Chains A and B, each alone.
Chain A
C-alpha cells in the first residue's frame, strides 16, 4: 500500500494521472493496431477480437442509453437485427416504394449502400418505437422492448420465405478479398475502426449539452422538464441514435466481416442479457468501461473454453503429465454470473470503475448519481435500523 501511495504521489508530481491515462489509452490503441501484425497470432484469435469489438459497440451504446440516459431498453439486439436483416433483404431483393412508383433493383445497390439503408431502417423503427413509448416511464419501456424484441425475433423466424428462418440470412459480403489472411486483417481493422468511431460519437453525445440533458432526465425527469428540457425529444433522440449505431454495427458485422449470416437466435433475450451483463461488469455509466467490459468478457469466455492448468510443486497427473486441460463448458457462464452478482453487490459502478477513476483523477460516475445512491443506501440503512 505504501509503495502504491509513493507511486501515486510520484505520478501526481510527475506526468499526472490524467496524462498517464491518455498515455495508457494511446498504448492500448497502439496494441490493437499492432496486434494483427503479430505473426504468432492466428486468424482465430483475430476472429475472437473482431467479435469482442462488435460486442464492445453493443455494450457501450447500451451504456449511453441505459447508464447515462436512464432508458432501460431490452431492444438493443432487435435494432441490431433490424439493421442486419434490412441490409440483407435489400441487397437480395432490392426495394420498391409502391406509393412513389420507384423501384430499386438489388444490382444497383452496393453492399455498403445496403448497410446504410439497414442503418436508416433501424433508426426509423427506433423513431416510431421511441415516439410511441418514450412518453412512458420506468418499467414500461423495458417491458415493451422485451415484447418488441421477441416479436421481431419470431417474425424473422416464421417469415422464413423472406428471412431464411432459423437457417439465417446471408448479407452481401462487404469485403471481397480472396486471400483469407488479408481479409481477416482488413476485417479486424474495419471492426476496430468502427469501435473507435462509435466510441468517439458516443462520447461526443455524452459530453455535449445533450449528454447533460440526458443525465438530468435520468436523475429527475420532472425537474429537468421544469427547467426547460424537452424530455421526450431527447429521449427519442438518444433512442434513435443508439438504434442507428447498433443497426450499422450489426449490418457491417454480419456482412461477412464477423459472421456470414444472421440468425433469429442471435436476437434472443439471452443475447441481450449478455450485452447488459457486459455493460454492468465494465461500468454502466462509463462508455469506455462498458466497451472494455464487453471486450474482456468476450475474450475470457472464449479463453475459458479450454483452460490448461499446470500443476505446482512437481505434481503430475495419473498419466505423468505436469498439466491437464479443464473444459468448463457451460460452467464458464455460471462463473460469469457469479462475477456479475459480485459486481452488483459490491461494485455497482463496474469492476473497471476504480481503475478509470484513478486515471481520470475524478469520479467518472456523475456526482448526482453517487449522491443519490448514497442517499438510497443511507435510507435503506435507516429503515434497517428502525426495523431493529
Chain B
C-alpha cells in the first residue's frame, strides 16, 4: 500500500511538473504577438527632489496598464497583435532631467508614445520636445494651465504647438483653474460670510489662497488670510488669534499640504475652533488618505476636504480592480494620478489601434482626439482638437486637448475612523452620496 502511495505520489508530482511549462506556454500563448512591441515611455519622478511617492505610484499604474493590455492581446494593428513595452524614465522632478530623459526616450529607447509627468515644470519643459519629435503624449498629472493651453496659444515666447497642424500633447489630469472654485462654490451655497484661510507659503498655497480669496470676496464674503510655513508644528499662537477674534468665522479653510496639514487640523479641532457648531472645517485633500488622517487627526471628525479624481462610491469595475491591486501593493487607496496614468496608457493604445499605426504620430493624434473610452476615472473624450478646433468665446485655451471631466468634489467624514471610501460626497449636488450638502457635527446624514 505504501509502495502504491509512493508511486502515485511520484506520478502525480511528475505530472504536475510536466504541466507547469505547459500552462506557462498557454498563459503566454493565448495571444500571439508580433516581434516588434510598442514602446511607451513613462516619465515619472523617482528620485529627489521630485515627488518620489507620486512617481512610484504612477510607474506602478503605467506598468499595470501595460500588463492588462498585453493580457488582452496587446494592440491590434492590421490584425497583428503588438505587445506594449514600458520604458520608465526618472525625471527627478527637474526640467533638465526631464528633457534629458525625453531625449533618451526618443533617440535611444525609440518610444512610440509618452505618458506620465507629475511636476508641471517637467511638463512645460518637455511638451515642446515631444511635439517637435512627433511623439503622441498623454500627460497624467501636471496641472499648469499652459500645458494644454500652449496647444493653441503662445507660451513663454514659444508658438502654439498646433501651429504646424498637429499638436501631439494631451492631458487627462485637471488644469489648475478647473480645480479652484469648487470649494468656494460649495461654501457660498452654504451661505458662509466670514472666512479664514490658512495657507502655506508656497506656490501651491499662495495662488490657491489668492484665487479663493478673490472668489469669496466677489461673492460678498469677508476673508482673513493667514500664511504659515510648511514644517511648522505648533499652530497654537495662530489659532489663538482666530479664537480671540470677536467674529467667530463661519469656516476655516486649510490650504496646507502633507504632515503640516494634519498638525494644523488636529490642533484646530483640539482647541474647539473647527469643526464646531459655528465653524466648518475644510481641510486639504491629503485628508483623503484616511488611515494617515485618523492617525494624525483623531479629533478631525466632520472635517470636509476637496478631492481630485473619481470618488470611491462612483468607482467603475475597472477602478475597483485597480484600487484592489493598488491596495495590495501599497496598502492605500489608489490616488488620482495613478488612475490617470493607468488610463493614459489605455488611451494611447486605443489611439494606435484605431489609427492602425504605432508610428504615424499625426494619425495617432487624430485618433486620440476622437477617443471615447470608459476607463477607471470615467468616460474619456477630448472636446477640442483638430476635430473640433474652434473654442467658443469664453472657453479657456487650456481646454484644448484637455479631458474636460476630471472629477473635483467636496467630501466629509461623519464617523470617527471612517474610511474615505465611505465618507460622504457633499458637493457638487450631482455626486452627493448622502443627500446632504453638509453634515453638522454630532449629526448623521
Contacts and interface: CB of A to CB of B under 8 A. Distances in A.
A158 B99 contact: no
A265 B91 CA distance: 13
B398 to A, nearest CB: 14
B99 A165 contact: no
B165 interface: no
B108 A44 contact: yes
A329 interface: yes
A317 to B, nearest CB: 15
Given A158-B201, A168-B95, A259-B95, A265 B49 contact: yes
B124 interface: yes
Contact of A259 (B46, B99, B203): B99
A175 to B, nearest CB: 14
A166 to B, nearest CB: 5
A259 B144 contact: no
A44 B107 contact: yes
Contacts of A333: 47
- Chain A interface category by residue count: 20 to 34
B94 A266 contact: yes
Given A259-B95, A263-B94, A265-B94, A51 B125 contact: no
Contacts of A172: 157
User: Most chain-A CB neighbours within 10 Å: which of B95, B119, B120, B128?
Assistant: B95
Contacts of A180: 132
Contacts of B203: 157-158, 160, 165-167
A44 B103 contact: yes
Contacts of A258: 96
User: Most chain-B CB neighbours within 10 Å: which of A48, A168, A262, A271?
Assistant: A168
A160 B96 contact: no
B94 A170 contact: no
Top 7 closest pairs, chain A to chain B, by CB: A165-B203, A259-B96, A265-B49, A160-B203, A168-B121, A42-B107, A44-B104
A343 B224 CA distance: 54
Contacts of B96: 51, 258-259, 266
Contacts of A125: none
Contacts of A271: 49
B127 to A, nearest CB: 11
B71 to A, nearest CB: 18
Contacts of B47: 329-330, 333
Contacts of B121: 166-168, 261, 263
B29 interface: no
A308 interface: no
A48 B48 CA distance: 18
A43 B128 CA distance: 16
A260 B120 contact: no
A157 B201 CA distance: 9
Contacts of B46: 329-330
6 contacts: A166-B121, A168-B95, A172-B157, A259-B96, A265-B50, A265-B93
A227 interface: no
B325 interface: no
Contacts of B52: 330
A219 interface: no
Contacts of B207: 160, 165
A47 B144 CA distance: 26
B156 interface: yes
A158 B230 CA distance: 12
Contact of B90 (A48, A270, A329): A329
A221 interface: no
Interface string B42-67: 00001111101000000000000000
B202 interface: yes
Given A44-B100, A265-B50, A330-B47, 16 more contacts: A43-B107, A44-B103, A44-B104, A44-B107, A51-B96, A51-B100, A157-B203, A158-B201, A160-B206, A166-B203, A167-B124, A258-B96, A260-B95, A260-B99, A261-B124, A270-B49
A268 B201 contact: no
A142 interface: no
A180 to B, nearest CB: 8
A356 interface: no
Nearest to A48: B100
A372 interface: no
A224 interface: no
A166 B142 CA distance: 12
Contacts of A266: 49, 94, 96
Contacts of B120: 166-167
Nearest to A266: B94
A266 B90 CA distance: 16
Nearest to A154: B201
User: Most chain-B CB neighbours within 10 Å: which of A160, A165, A260?
Assistant: A260
Given A44-B104, A47-B103, A168 B49 contact: no
A316 to B, nearest CB: 16
A362 interface: no
Interface in A242-299: 258-263, 265-266, 268, 270-271
Contacts of B49: 265-266, 268, 270-271
Interface in A146-205: 154, 157-158, 160, 165-168, 170, 172, 180
A135 interface: no
A44 B96 CA distance: 12
Contacts of A47: 99-100, 103
Contacts of B99: 47, 259-260
A305 interface: yes
A37 B125 CA distance: 27
A180 B94 CA distance: 21
Interface string A32-66: 00000000001110011001000000000000000
Contacts of A170: 156-157
Nearest to B47: A330
B41 to A, nearest CB: 13
A170 to B, nearest CB: 4
A167 B97 CA distance: 14
A261 B47 CA distance: 19
A166 B100 CA distance: 19
Interface in B121-168: 121, 124-125, 128, 132, 144, 156-157
A29 to B, nearest CB: 24
Contacts of A44: 100, 103-104, 107-108
User: Most chain-A CB neighbours within 10 Å: which of B119, B121, B124, B157?
Assistant: B121
A170 B155 CA distance: 10
A212 B203 CA distance: 46
Contacts of B100: 44, 47-48, 51
A240 B363 CA distance: 55
A166 B121 CA distance: 7
A42 B96 CA distance: 17
B107 A168 contact: no
A261 B95 contact: yes
A165 to B, nearest CB: 3
Contact of B119 (A48, A158, A166, A329): A166
